[in-house]
Amino acid sequence: MDVEYEPVEQGRLESDMAPLVDDAGRIDDRVEGQEWLAPRDEPKPADPEGWDLGLELEAAYDDNIFLTATSPESDLVFTVTPKVGFVAGQREDEGAYLRVAYRPSVVLYLDNSDESRVDHRFEGVAALNGQKSSVVLSGNLDRLGDATPDIGTQSDRTEYASELRLAWKPSEKLSLELAGGIECTDYDSRGLSDSKLTYTEFALRYAYSPKTTLVGAVAAGKVEVDGAGDQDFQRATARLIWQPREKLTVDFEVGVERRDYPSGSDTYPVLEGRIAWQPKEGTELFLGGYLREETSAVFPGQNIEIAGVSGGVSQRFGDHWTGRFEAGYESASYKRVSGTGLAGREDDIFFIQPSLDYQVNEHFRMGIFYRYSRNDSNGAAFGYDANQFGINASYDF
């Protein structure tokens, strides 16, 4: 099937959009990069209250920094990420609670120095808890330049999300929640479509036992995309949070979503699930999967049906060494929901990532990693192969 797209020259969408590389992706929101989804021992747990300060360093050789299908360009990339966080109060206790964190990342390229940038990530949670009620305001504001699978290259953008959630506990086991929120993505490039999602949600949370929690939720909202018609959606989900034993956790949410588009409507399943297991001391495994629908920034009027799975294992050797292996796969299918024109882009994304860490002391960790990722897309401008080799270190003060 022919795929509707504008050809991308060396991973560039237009002349005023500088291709910038770091980590990127959509498999659990990441396809490139070195952020682990599997459980990971931290050098030092964050203090319950007070300042949380740290520094992360990384040097990586990347053989395809622009994620292009033809004439890939390699470079040595250095990333410096300080962390500044502050916590006041206890999240589950009565009274006020505050947690804020800021993580800027300085990304430097050895050969392509004009592509260097600074990413910014800010998140915060403020809560006021009473005996039977609570009010929670949470949000994040990110200024990023990494790649996304939809665009197929690096993109400067601002991402914002905020939610206000009210909860009331009529009994010890039952909680009723009402929430409203907004999520926005604004791209610097004129060739990409900004989007905004607004929603309200009602949820019922029931503690069936100390090891089992059941959650039912209904939500409704609107998606607005520049250059395309609005989309209205309604969603109903059921969630199981189950911990049958101390070292096994199951968190599984399944439901159905209906969207009304300018060109019609569609009903499809939604899924988010994760299993984490420690079969023995020093060994951890996880498996996760998801189904959802997103809007496209490259093709206004098209949505993406996404299905993915990822898994990993972590094994500690002695007191200091930890080895990890993780792999994931995602399928993304594009469909026309407003306007005219062909739609038929199909992406099949795969990655593997082994690593080895050495815990020097409770504050300092060092490690090495390798990552291979591939996108077998039927749109020639969006497929790629990429290899990364690197070392990293982190210090918690």
Q: What is the CATH number of the domain that holds 336?
A: 2.40.170
pTM to 2 decimals?
0.83
Number of domains in the chain: 1
Is 248 part of any domain? yes
Length of the chain: 397
Q: What 3-state DSSP class applies to 165?
A: strand
Parent domain of 59: 27-396
Is 16 part of any domain? no
Is 1 part of any domain? no
Is 14 part of any domain? no
Is 234 part of any domain? yes
Is 12 part of any domain? no
Q: pLDDT per residue over 109-164, tens digit each?
A: 999 999 999 999 999 999 999 999 999 999 999 999 988 878 878 899 999 999 99
Q: pLDDT per residue over 226-247, tens digit each?
A: 988 899 999 999 999 999 988 9
Q: pLDDT per residue over 54-98, tens digit each?
A: 999 999 999 999 888 888 999 999 999 999 999 999 888 899 999
Is 227 part of any domain? yes
Is 116 part of any domain? yes
Q: pLDDT per residue over 178-221, tens digit each?
A: 999 999 999 999 999 999 999 999 999 999 999 999 999 999 99
